[in-house]
Structure 1
Amino acid sequence: MSTDHKSETSHHEVVDENANANANATGDASSPPRSTWDALRDNPWVVLFCLYGNIGALMYGFDNLVLSLALSMTAFETTFGTWTAGAYVIPAYWQSLWNALSQVATMLGATAAGPLQDRFGRRAAFLVAACLSAAGIAVVYTAATPGAFLAGKIVNGLALGLALTTGQTYISEVTALELRGIALSGFTFCMNLGYLIAASVALPRMSMASDAAYKVLFASGWVWPGVILLFLPFMPESPYFLVMNGQHDQAGRMLRRLGHQASEAVILLDDIVRTHTEEQLRTQAARESSFRDCFRGTNWRRTRIILYCNALSQVIGSSFMTNGPYFLVQAGMSSAKTGMMTEIGIAFGIASSLVTGYLMTVCGRRRLILFGIGLSTGLFTVMGIAGCFPHSSPALWVVGIFLELSWWVYGPAIGPAMAIAGEVSAVRLRAKSLAVGFTFNYFFSTVWNVVMPYLYNSDEADLGGLIGWIFAGLGAISLGVLFVELPETKGRSFEELDEMLTAGVPTRAFPGSVGSPSSRIVGKYTVDPLGTLSGMIT
Structure 2
Amino acid sequence: MATHNNGFEAEKVDSHTKHVELSADSALAQAADFEDHELGIWKSFVRYPWASAWCVYACWTIILLSFDVQAAGAVVGIPEFRKDFGYEFEGNYVLPAVWQSSFSGAPVATAVISSIASAELADFIGRKKVLALALLISFVAVAIEFIATTNAVFFAGKLLNGFMVGAVGTIMVSYIGEITPLALRGIFTCGVGVAYGIGPLVAFIVTNYTGTVQSRWAYRTVFCCQFGFAGVAAILWPFMPE
TM-score bin, normalised by smaller chain: 0.7 to 0.9
Paired AA for residue 47 in structure 1: S
Given that 2:78 and 2:219 are in contact with CA atoms closer than 8 Å, whether structure 1 keeps it comes out as yes
Partner of 1:201: 206
Given that 1:77 and 1:88 are in contact with CA atoms closer than 8 Å, whether structure 2 keeps it comes out as yes
Partner of 1:65: 70
Provide the rounded CA distance (Å) in 2 between the counterparts of 1:57 and 1:85.
Answer: 41
Partner of 1:129: 134
Of 163, 166, 188, which aligns to 2:168? 163
Report runs of 4+ in structure 1 exceeding 3 Å deviation.
Answer: 14-18, 29-32
1:111 maps onto 2:120 in alignment = no
Provide the rounded CA distance (Å) in 1 between the counterparts of 2:117 and 2:229.
Answer: 20
Post-superposition Cα deviations, 1:171-198, rounded to whole Å, max 9, x if no partner, equal 1111111112322331110111112211
Structure 1 unaligned blocks of 5 or more: 1-13, 238-538
Per the TM alignment, residue 117 of structure 1 is displaced from its structure 2 partner at its CA by: 0.5
Provide the rounded CA distance (Å) in 2 between the counterparts of 1:137 and 1:228.
Answer: 15
Provide the rounded CA distance (Å) in 2 between the counterparts of 1:67 and 1:93.
Answer: 14
Per the TM alignment, residue 85 of structure 1 is displaced from its structure 2 partner at its CA by: 2.5
Q: So what's the TM-score if we normalise by structure 1?
A: 0.39
Post-superposition Cα deviations, 1:343-376, rounded to whole Å, max 9, x if no partner, equal xxxxxxxxxxxxxxxxxxxxxxxxxxxxxxxxxx
Partner of 2:231: 226
Any idea what SS the aligned residue of 2:88 has?
strand
Provide the rounded CA distance (Å) in 1 between the counterparts of 2:26 and 2:146.
Answer: 60
Post-superposition Cα deviations, 1:257-293, rounded to whole Å, max 9, x if no partner, equal xxxxxxxxxxxxxxxxxxxxxxxxxxxxxxxxxxxxx
Post-superposition Cα deviations, 1:111-145, rounded to whole Å, max 9, x if no partner, equal 11111100100100110010000000000001111
Any idea what SS the aligned residue of 2:35 has?
coil
| Structure in which a larger fraction of residues adopt helix | 2
Inter-CA distance 18–150: structure 2 relative to 1 (3 Å threshold): closer
1:181 maps onto 2:186 in alignment = yes
Given that 2:144 and 2:156 are in contact with CA atoms closer than 8 Å, whether structure 1 keeps it comes out as yes
Of 75, 90, 95, which aligns to 1:85? 90
Paired AA for residue 187 in structure 1: V
Identity %: 29
Structure 2 unaligned blocks of 5 or more: 1-22
Given that 1:57 and 1:187 are in contact with CA atoms closer than 8 Å, whether structure 2 keeps it comes out as yes
Of 46, 49, 52, which aligns to 2:54? 49
- 1:365-380 maps to which residues of 2 (within 5 A)? none
Determine which structure has more spread, i.e. the larger CA radius of gyration: 2
Provide the rounded CA distance (Å) in 2 between the counterparts of 1:93 and 1:56.
Answer: 30
Partner of 1:397: none
Compute the RMSD of aligned alpha carbons: 2.1
Per the TM alignment, residue 204 of structure 1 is displaced from its structure 2 partner at its CA by: 1.0
Partner of 1:148: 153
Partner of 2:28: 19
Aligned residues: 219
Q: So what's the TM-score if we normalise by structure 2?
A: 0.84
Paired AA for residue 204 in structure 1: Y
1:31 maps onto 2:35 in alignment = yes
- 1:276-425 maps to which residues of 2 (within 5 A)? none
Provide the rounded CA distance (Å) in 1 between the counterparts of 2:109 and 2:60.
Answer: 20
Given that 1:57 and 1:188 are in contact with CA atoms closer than 8 Å, whether structure 2 keeps it comes out as no
Of 135, 143, 146, which aligns to 1:138? 143
Inter-CA distance 23–235: structure 2 relative to 1 (3 Å threshold): farther
Highest RCO, 1 vs 2 (Cα 8 Å, sep ≥ 6): 2
Paired AA for residue 193 in structure 2: T
Post-superposition Cα deviations, 1:15-68, rounded to whole Å, max 9, x if no partner, equal 699627x954xxxx4536221222122111111101111233212321232222
